[in-house]
Chain A
């Protein structure tokens, strides 16, 4: 690749790998080859250290005590909110960033709070066929509770892209559009802005699942044009146990609480309560404080490396992987999703000959290769693709060409075993 002013500088992967303690371990006598970022990322030492340091020097509950460490813990927690908001271009981070448990809880919050107070029986909800169950099932649960919503889906074509020719009629009469910013199975990055503009023109609200895109590409909520976006810290090199919901301030302001308890109220009497303003309204109970500290460190790490460089690295490696798989395995291997390009992220869902994904993953494990077999919580999409399961390899900023070569070595061994 020749460098031009628009091309981000390549990553020094060898140096970056040293930041991740887990990459030093071996599995079955072989160095670990971690290709499961789409399920959960690994953590750099900076994140682990930040959380340990927090527990060793600062921990106290937030928003309660007036002693020094309690003040410090509160400041760290609120700082995480600002850092997080800034990371996705939130115009008003202090009021628009809600901490949850994970992406799934963020999406359930939108369905249960915004959905319950804004949808009527029979209202149309438009989703896509490539949604993760987390952006399907909450709407189904709400549908059952409200006595029937009209669930519709934007179809996926043979190349793994959304079929948007008929977008105007798809969004017509729809109250809410739920769309994944990047498929966790196909790596497809759909034109969310186009969908959001059409949805808004039809008067719908747009709920984006950012779990896969936010960790791997620069994201700006204003550019995306969505009303809500959900993502998880543990997929962006942060800890498990904390997720994010960004929502437009005026929408959050009008929404009823999700969970009830401490921290989300202004006042409680024996027969009534007054909820706090957002974001506290949606954060009942003691929040994930150490995890927020870890998330702050993760975002600092990602910003340090550079989201545009991460995106460029993973896209180049996706192209390399697709080429090499084709070169070494030819028609024996089928990789779902679009070719490497602007609308494709580093997720490679594989079918290899007729070897079941579970068996593939088992053989790959013996090579130290971590991939995920199964339906990837996207059963409607799997039915659409006509497969029961795939073996999914997903890339990180520290993935390299050697990882892909070991993956191919493992696939060839599976081919030999299952002949």
Chain B
């Protein structure tokens, strides 16, 4: 069961049991994005407020498996209050950790790759230090079917940032 322990690390189970930044922000003014995993029915609702170039607030709603929910919780803790360009870099780094396998699984139901770079072929060097607690999710790549669970909220966040940027411009 070593692989299982690797997948379901204590930090993941902790975020699953006690999710951070849980709930929904009033929309508007918040921007709201829904993500679905049509294979298993997982859903995540990311509501966010972007102010002065920062991701001023965000909350996570929806329901799903331990991987989708803990990834969303870990993400919320990592990005809340951060400058948008830093958030985008983190999305890119996180998806880099997941991307080799995700690329092989094909685009999600909207044909979107979530706005982040999908790494083709050789994976770029991922700096796990930058990911902090998020690195706990790297055990997921051994379970390719679950990668979509882990990236669900990240794709929704990336989509939301794109949509907010488009509204502003």
Contacts and interface: CB of A to CB of B under 8 A. Distances in A.
Interface of A: 28, 356-359, 362-363, 366, 373-375, 379, 382, 388-389, 413, 417-418
B166 interface: no
26 contacts: A357-B40, A357-B65, A358-B40, A358-B64, A358-B65, A359-B65, A359-B66, A359-B67, A362-B7, A362-B143, A363-B4, A366-B1, A366-B3, A366-B4, A374-B39, A374-B40, A375-B41, A379-B41, A388-B41, A388-B64, A389-B40, A389-B41, A417-B4, A417-B13, A418-B13, A418-B66
A294 B66 CA distance: 41
A330 B146 CA distance: 29
B34 to A, nearest CB: 14
B24 interface: no
Contacts of A356: 64-66
Contact of A374 (B4, B41, B63): B41
The dominant DSSP class at the A interface is helix
Given A28-B3, A359-B67, 18 more contacts: A356-B65, A358-B64, A358-B149, A362-B146, A363-B4, A366-B1, A366-B3, A366-B4, A373-B40, A374-B41, A375-B40, A382-B41, A388-B41, A388-B43, A388-B64, A417-B8, A417-B13, A418-B13
B14 to A, nearest CB: 11
Contacts of B3: 28, 366
A168 B165 CA distance: 57
Main secondary structure on B side of the interface with A = mixed
Nearest to A416: B1
Nearest to A389: B41
How many residues of B sit at the interface, in one of the four size bands?
10 to 19
Contacts of B13: 417-418
Contacts of B57: none
Contacts of A358: 40, 42, 64-67, 146, 149
B100 to A, nearest CB: 20
A256 B111 CA distance: 35
B63 A388 contact: yes
A76 B143 CA distance: 43
* List of 10 A-B pairs having minimum Cβ-Cβ separation, nearest first: A358-B65, A356-B65, A375-B41, A374-B40, A389-B41, A388-B41, A359-B66, A358-B40, A359-B65, A366-B4
B13 to A, nearest CB: 7
Interface in B57-93: 63-67
A358 B13 CA distance: 14
B9 to A, nearest CB: 11
Contacts of B1: 366, 413
Nearest to A387: B41
B64 A362 contact: no
Contacts of A389: 40-41
Contacts of A363: 4
Nearest to B5: A417
Contacts of B4: 362-363, 366, 417
Among B3, B64, B65, the most chain A Cβ lie within 10 Å of the Cβ of B65
